[in-house]
């Protein structure tokens, strides 16, 4: 789960800055789905930057690696 103000907006800004593509959306159960396509180290950089934001807190992160589709 993620608690924070402006998470989707901040994720979008960071992703654009790092030339990543994807989407972020709120789920009905209160969790947030963040699908990002790009190099693993760049995605890790994005997550580190997001988690260092003052009003954003990650309770946990579950992820899986899938082949890039290039569809975002």
Give the catalytic positions in this structure: 8, 26
Q: How distant, in Å, are the alpha carbons of 48, 49, 51 from that of 37?
A: 16, 16, 18
Q: Read off the tokens for 15.
A: 């992703």
The tokens 């997550």 sit on which residue? Answer: 47
């Amino acid at each position: 789960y993620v608690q924070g103000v402006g998470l989707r907006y901040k994720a979008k800004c960071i992703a654009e800055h790092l030339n990543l593509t994807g989407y972020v959306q709120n789920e009905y159960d209160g969790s947030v789905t963040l699908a990002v396509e790009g190099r693993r180290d760049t995605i890790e950089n994005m997550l580190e930057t997001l988690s260092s934001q003052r009003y954003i807190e990650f309770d946990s992160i579950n992820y899986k690696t899938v082949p890039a589709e290039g569809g975002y």
